[in-house]
Structure 1
Amino acid sequence: MNLQIKEIKSYNHEIRNTVEHFLKSLQGCESSISEYQLKEIISSENSYLFFASSVHDVCIGMLTIGIYQSPTGKKAWIEDVAVDDLFRGQGIGENLITFAIQFAKQHNVDVLNLTSSPARVAANNLYKKTGFQPKETNVYRMALGTNSYA
């Protein structure tokens, strides 16, 4: 499949609808994102939102990358990787992850991280296939706002 991955740099309602579509896929229920939240992501110098589109400009995947500097090095997190149900199993997820790895390298990132629920077997296999190694750690979480997704 001929795939194009592009960074989303401006807001419109279609972008918002697309993000909400993929949030539903990730969370298994209807989800919304406010215009303010999405504009904040798009305008942030540390957050990057990407859509994967087919040759017919149909959006079939999404990925977010957050980059930050810490005393232990420049780090990045891959977040919200989603592929439309109709296009799963066609290598789109692998293309998105490979793209994210290259993007992080271009930004001189020292460590690239992601998390995935153990229940997402295909996703976990993909991450291992693309070179990620499981890290023995505990992830702790504290929801501080009303939009604290699982």
Structure 2
Amino acid sequence: MTISISPVSDVTPELVEAMKRLLPELSSASPPSAKELCEIVASPATVLFVARSDVQAIVGVLTFVSFRLPTGMRTWIEDVIVDSNARGLGVGAALCQTAIRYASELGAVSIDLTSRPSRIAANQLYQKLGFQRRETNVYRYTVAP
């Protein structure tokens, strides 16, 4: 299977349907609407990368986030999702390697990401790619709707 990675420039019905199919594999959150995907694609802080195979159209996605702070350019990898039928075929690695190259082009010195401990294969992939586990506290404040 040949995998190609590209940034999304236009939100298509294919992308909307792919997100409906893929997001439940990562989260119980509702899949983004076409309007929300347009906001993601239009944002200067995010790049949505899609992985396509020659067998199935969209088989994975990764959201790359970048923003400048007083301490430098910060970059994050978020919402890496690979179709369960395409796991183990290098899709996640290809998505992450593309994000790493993109971060380098931006002049970032590091990329952060988080992954639940229960996602064993994902954590192994990130370590294999050179990501190092950090000793830090991650806090979350839930803002009431």
Q: State the TM bucket, normalised to the shorter chain.
A: over 0.9
Within a 5 Å distance, the mapping from 1:31-42 to structure 2 comes to 31-42=30-41
1:142 correspondence with 2:141? yes
Match of 1:129 in 2: 128
Question: Deviation per CA, 1:84-121, whole angstroms, max 9, x where unpaired?
Answer: 00011111111111111111101111221000001101
SS in structure 2 of the partner of residue 17 of structure 1: helix
One-letter amino acid matched to 1:40: E
Which residue is equivalent to 2:7? Answer: 7
Letter in 1 for 2:16: R
2:83 aligns with 84
Give the Cα–Cα distance (whole angstroms) in 2 for the partners of residues 142 and 5 of structure 1. 34
Would you identify which runs of 4 or more consecutive aligned residues in structure 1 move more than 3 Å?
none
Aligned to 2:52: 53
Please state whether the residue corresponding to 2:141 is helix, strand or coil: coil
- Tell me whether 1:62 sits opposite 2:81 in the alignment: no
- Fraction of identical pairs, as percent: 39
CA–CA separation in structure 2 for the residues paired with 1:145 and 1:81: 26
- In structure 2, C-alpha distance between the alignment counterparts of 1:30 and 1:115, rounded to whole Å: 17
Gaps of 5+ in 2: none
Shift in Å at residue 57 of structure 1? 5.8
C-alpha distance in structure 1 between counterparts of 2:107 and 2:122, whole Å? 25
CA distance in 2, matches of 1:3, 1:104: 20
**1:78 counterpart letter in structure 2:** I
C-alpha RMSD of the superposition: 1.6
From the superposition, tell whether residues 102 and 70 of structure 1 become closer, same or farther in structure 2 (CA, over 3 Å). same
Instruction: Choose 41-50 or 13-22, whichever is displaced more.
Output: 13-22
Q: Secondary structure at the match of 2:36?
A: helix
Q: 2:52, 2:25 → 1: CA distance? A: 17
Partner Cα separation in structure 2 for residue 36 and residue 138 of structure 1: 34
Match of 2:73 in 1: 74
In structure 2, the partner of 1:19 is 19
Task: Provide the C-alpha distance between the structure 2 equivalents of 1:70 and 1:44, rounded to a whole number of angstroms.
Answer: 17
Cα deviations by residue, 1:10-51 (Å, 9 ceiling, x for unpaired): 122221121222211101x47321232211101011100011
User: What residue identity is the alignment partner of 1:25?
Assistant: E
Residue 6 of structure 1: CA displacement?
Answer: 0.9
Q: Does structure 2 retain, via aligned residues, the 8 Å contact 1:73–1:111?
A: no
Q: Mark the CA change 1:144 to 1:13 in structure 2 (over 3 Å): closer, same or farther.
A: farther
